[in-house]
Structure 1
Amino acid sequence: MTGASRGRRVTVALAVLVLAVAGVLAALAGLRSGRPAGDGPEAGFARDMSVHHAQAVRMSFIVRDRTEDERVRLLAYDIINTQSAQIGMMTAWLDEWELPKTDPAGPMRWMAGHGGHGGSGAARPGGAAAMPGMASREQLDRLERASGRDAEVLYLQLMITHHRAGVEMAEAVLARTGHERVRRLARTMVNGQGSEIALMTDMLRQRGATAGR
């Protein structure tokens, strides 16, 4: 083999290697560019729904200690476990996407224009954050002071309002994202919380109360 022939083979091999490396880098860049944006609906949903879930977990812990009714305690236990696990999942997504856990510009921006929510992060009357369905500080204080049937009724009313808003948020992200993991979790929330709303409405009826709006 002549020196010229060997040189051509080395040149071809180097060219193939360069193309392979370029292909790998392009693939990695594609994966990175496909990661949800910090101000996108996926990140906004993960952040805001985590906050939303955290209050549901808090209210469920409160009522668990304020009633002896086994059905209410079981419902509270299920909400604590389900929504705590979902918070963990959404937090893991934000870590994977290398995104902050809170939006410096405020909550609910991703849902702007959906049902009148989003954008400002301003407070509503009663001290509740500008996030749909959230109980106010005064309502949480009332729940902590209540016991027995009063605690059950107030919890069920607050949680129905909370769940309705959670379903609304999940439906909003379904309309805004094609990210399959986000869509799968949002569908789970719509179905699961919808079933719990029906259950809680029936439990209120048994106590001679209504959910209201």
Structure 2
Amino acid sequence: MHDQNVDPAPPRRRGLVVLLGVAGAALAVAVGLSIGLAMPVLTAPSDDSSDVGFARDMSTHHAQAVEMSMLGVRQAGLEEVRRMALDMGLTQQAQIGTMRAWLKQWNVPPTGTGPRMAWMRDGGMSHDADMADQPAEDAPMPGMATEAEMARLGTLSGAQFDALFCDLMIRHHAGGIEMVDAVLRTDPEDEVRELAEAIKVGQQSEINALTQLKSRLSEQ
């Protein structure tokens, strides 16, 4: 008489089934991870996309604001200007780091071979008319200070510095918002949209604060 409770599968067979099950589960996890890791590469913006152009050009745009801000920390007359300058510089330097990380993740170089701001021209910006007569490599960036303006800012201190700093940074931020609006019209990647919207909110708030400060300075 046979014992009905005896497992019909020999121990070695059961072990093989378990081993195959574990191996199959591990393979599924590995495949899932591979797909997950590959997706950012497979869906990354192309080198000539507005996402990549924005990341490159806004990094350059931000770099000048950081330079102006560091001058403000050292040369501003009012403590309020120094505090604002420090906050702007730290914020925009952090954003530069984020955008450079994107470019690395997207496997594109930090600088392109095409003309600057081409992604904005393709978007039909009003800025295009001013850029039409410019050599591609010299295409202006919205709101940027000229070399002469930066040199002059570097020679000033106190109230004179504060006044010019407000003027240049208000214009600079307005140009940055123009670039943000341009990329937002192109249905960018989620991370680009989120940062662009944050830049717009932050810089519009700073424009308001700088405008009020400039008004007070003119009354002194």
Match of 1:189 in 2: 199
Give CA deviations for 1:147-200 in whole Å, capped at 9, x if unaligned: 111100001100000000001101111111241100000000110000000000
CA distance 1:67–1:30, change in 2 (3 Å): closer
8 Å CA contact 1:53–1:87 kept in 2: the answer is yes
Give CA deviations for 1:22-59 in whole Å, capped at 9, x if unaligned: x8788776653311000001000000000000000001
| Percentage identity across paired residues of the two chains | 40
RMSD: 2.4
Compare the two structures and name the one with the higher helix fraction.
2
Aligned: 1:96 with 2:111: no
Structure 1's unaligned 5+ residue stretches are 1-15, 124-128
CA distance 1:141–1:27, change in 2 (3 Å): closer
Q: Which has the higher contact order (CA 8 A, sep 6+)?
A: 2
Distance in 1 between residues matched to 2:74 and 2:180, nearest whole Å:
29
Aligned length: 186
8 Å CA contact 1:66–1:151 kept in 2: the answer is yes
8 Å CA contact 1:41–1:177 kept in 2: the answer is no
> 2:49 aligned to 40, 44, 67, which one?
40
8 Å CA contact 1:52–1:166 kept in 2: the answer is yes
> 1:121 aligned to 136, 140, 143, which one?
136
Structure 1 window deviating more from structure 2 (97-106 vs 179-188): it is: 97-106
Q: Secondary structure at 1:207's aligned position in 2?
A: helix
CA distance 1:96–1:70, change in 2 (3 Å): same
How does the TM-score come out when normalised to structure 2? 0.77
Match of 1:7 in 2: none
Q: Secondary structure at 1:158's aligned position in 2?
A: helix
How does the TM-score come out when normalised to structure 1? 0.80
Structure 2's unaligned 5+ residue stretches are 1-23
**Shift of the alpha carbon at 1:106?**
2.1
